[in-house]
Amino acid sequence: MTVDLVIPTIGRRSLLDLLCALGEQPGPLPDNIYLVDDRRHPDRPLIERGLDVGRLNGRLHVLPSGGRGPAAARNAGWKMSRAEWVVFLDDDVCPAGDWLEQLDIDLAGINLPVAASQGQLRVPLPNGRPPTDWERNVAGLEGARWITADMAYRRSVLEELGGFDERFKRAFREDAELALRVTQGGYRIVDGSRCVEHPVRPASPWISVRAQAGGVQRDGVDCRETLGEPHACDRGIDTEAGQSRALDRGDRASGQRRERLTTQVEFVLTREL
């Protein structure tokens, strides 16, 4: 079994923390780690020259993607791979100390028609006070399906389906759209045992409103038409569970754009969180 790792990044400090965490833990390393630099105008290198990354030395490859968004960045990464499995991690997650070992276990016993393995995700919340609306929103990722904060796909399936839809220019539902095509193609996505932590990054008080308002139509692609989703946002549905219920109702009622889904979908605010 061969495995490559793809990390789309905009150069956040958390990228180095992620790499250090991977380099310090036991377990089989990916053959290649593709850091896809999605900054439009990079003003500094992703990895400083001469930086010692321990066991990762010789495995890191930096690829530019020109600021075209996470969907295009992930495509640029997996298309460089020749491995059987391509694992996607976000640059702001913290892998558990046994992540590499558990990844090996998760993928070793998988046979077709299983095409993907999703890792577990934990969101730490503050102690001693109630979480803010934004913190609760991010915590919803713990139960989200199909997000690529930690997702492994068979490269053959990515090739068959063309990977991520690059019309999604921002981090919003591009991962769910791919997963829908995967499951509608007769493949399965299973849960793995490996775990990453997704810290809540600082944000303005308006972040939740801005994220919801931006989710309906972006960059020339109408998410509702692409995914067969009813106009959840137009109806004032502002929670992930509410959007999922609205999707289910609208799909039963219309049946026009997509073949009826047999799996419940929860659309979440993915990499913007």
**Residue 225 falls inside a structural domain:** no
Q: Is 126 exposed, middle or buried (0-12, 13-18, 19+ CB in 10 A)?
A: exposed
pLDDT of residue 136: 75
pLDDT of residue 225: 53
204-246 pLDDT, tens digit each:
666 666 666 555 444 555 555 555 544 333 333 333 444 444 4
**Residue 170 falls inside a structural domain:** yes
pLDDT of residue 270: 37
For residue 142 the two structure tokens come to: 């713990």
Domain that holds residue 95: 3-202
pLDDT of residue 163: 96
Separation between Cα atoms, residue 102 and residue 94, nearest integer Å? 14
**Residue 149 falls inside a structural domain:** yes
Separation between Cα atoms, residue 20 and residue 229, nearest integer Å? 40
Residue ranges, the chain, pLDDT below 70: 134, 139-140, 203-273
**Residue 152 falls inside a structural domain:** yes
**Residue 215 falls inside a structural domain:** no
Total-model pTM? 0.74
Phi-psi region of 255 (alpha: psi -120 to 50; beta: other; left: phi over 0): left
Long-range contacts of 232-238 (CB under 8 A, 24+ apart): 238/208, 238/212
pLDDT of residue 114: 97
pLDDT of residue 238: 37
How many domains are contained in the chain? 1
DSSP string, 189-258: EEEEEEEEE-------TTHHHHHHHTTSEETTEEHHHHHT---TGGGT--SHHHHHHHHHHHHHHH-SSS
Residue 86 maps to which CATH number?
3.90.550.10
- The set of residues, in sequence order, having a beta carbon less than 8 Å from that of 30 and lying 6+ positions away, is 3, 4, 5, 59, 83, 87
**Residue 251 falls inside a structural domain:** no
Q: Per residue, what are the HEC states of 152-183?
A: EEEHHHHHHHCCCCCCCCCCCCHHHHHHHHHH
**Residue 220 falls inside a structural domain:** no
Contact (Cβ atoms closer than 8 angstroms) between residue 225 and residue 245: no
Binning the chain into helix, strand and coil, the percentages to the nearest 5 are 35, 20, 45
**Residue 236 falls inside a structural domain:** no
For residue 192 the two structure tokens come to: 């793995």
Q: Is 79 exposed, middle or buried (0-12, 13-18, 19+ CB in 10 A)?
A: middle
Q: Is 130 exposed, middle or buried (0-12, 13-18, 19+ CB in 10 A)?
A: exposed
Q: How far apart are the first and last CA of the chain?
A: 32
